[in-house]
């Protein structure tokens, strides 16, 4: 048997040596598990790179998903999206913290965002502006799909937290950035 020497570091930064006795069979099995894990990770990364250019984005607010389509075929789903603090209903006015509903376009990208990359949604459209003005109010704007705040070291802000935007993980935002060109239709449904 071979001995594997590991060091465990406790919460105080103290190092403690560990000795594990591994048989040849255990080493081979460990290597096989590691190889399979790396292969699956590589396959998933390759799948992301292999996505075609997206020509339609569908957001299903209640289901908390973004669906990406190419040539009328669903090619990828992003689960766990985050919305505005008041996620139910169509955005009507500036400051209502709702996410718009309806058909819009991705009309520009913003690499200088306060969040990890962002794609602008063409809200408000003419009907949105007319409705808000008839009420003597502003429809608001500056609605994006974006990643997490730039100052967040890792992970995600919990819950619905935007002012009406659609937030995704930084990895998913990078995927959108690479595959969703300006001019792409985005349908946002309740």
Give the CATH number, domain containing residue 140: 2.40.440.10
Domain limits for position 35: 2-49
User: How many structural domains is the chain composed of?
Assistant: 2
Return the pLDDT at 38: 44
Query: Which of 49, 70, 86 represents a domain boundary (last residue)?
Result: 49
Same domain (yes/no): 17, 88: no
Helices (H), the chain: 24-49, 126-134, 170-179
pTM of the model: 0.73
Same domain (yes/no): 22, 86: no
Distance separating alpha carbons of residues 92 and 150, to the nearest angstrom: 28
Q: Residue written as tokens 């006015």?
A: 93
Query: Which of 11, 28, 49 represents a domain boundary (last residue)?
Result: 49
Same domain (yes/no): 63, 34: no
Give 109-142 pLDDT, tens digit per residue: 999 999 999 999 999 999 999 999 999 999 999 9
Same domain (yes/no): 20, 99: no
> Is the distance from CB of 1 to CB of 21 less than 8 angstroms?
yes
Give 53-78 pLDDT, tens digit per residue: 999 999 999 999 999 999 999 999 99
Strands (E), the chain: 2-9, 15-22, 56-60, 65-70, 73-79, 102-110, 118-121, 144-146, 166-167, 185-189
Distance separating alpha carbons of residues 49 and 39, to the nearest angstrom: 15
Instruction: Read off the DSSP letter of residue 162.
Output: B
Same domain (yes/no): 60, 45: no
Read off the pLDDT band of 27 (50, 70, 90): very low
């Amino acid at each position: 048997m071979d001995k594997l020497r590991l060091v465990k570091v406790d919460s105080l930064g103290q190092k403690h040596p560990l000795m594990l006795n591994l048989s040849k069979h255990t080493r081979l099995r460990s290597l096989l598990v590691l190889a399979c894990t790396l292969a699956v990770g590589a396959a998933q990364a390759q799948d992301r790179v292999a996505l075609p250019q997206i020509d339609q984005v569908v957001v299903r607010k209640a289901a908390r998903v973004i669906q990406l389509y190419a040539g009328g075929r669903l090619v990828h789903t992003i689960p766990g999206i985050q919305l505005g603090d008041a996620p139910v209903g169509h955005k009507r006015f500036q400051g209502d913290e709702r996410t718009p509903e309806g058909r819009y376009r991705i009309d520009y990208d913003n690499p200088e965002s306060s969040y990890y990359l962002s794609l602008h949604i063409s809200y408000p459209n003419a009907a949105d502006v007319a409705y808000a003005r008839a009420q003597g109010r502003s429809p608001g704007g500056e609605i994006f799909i974006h990643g997490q705040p730039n100052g967040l070291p890792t992970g995600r802000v919990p819950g619905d937290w935007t002012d009406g935007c659609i937030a995704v993980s930084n990895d998913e935002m990078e995927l959108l950035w690479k595959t969703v060109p300006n001019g792409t239709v985005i349908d946002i449904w309740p």
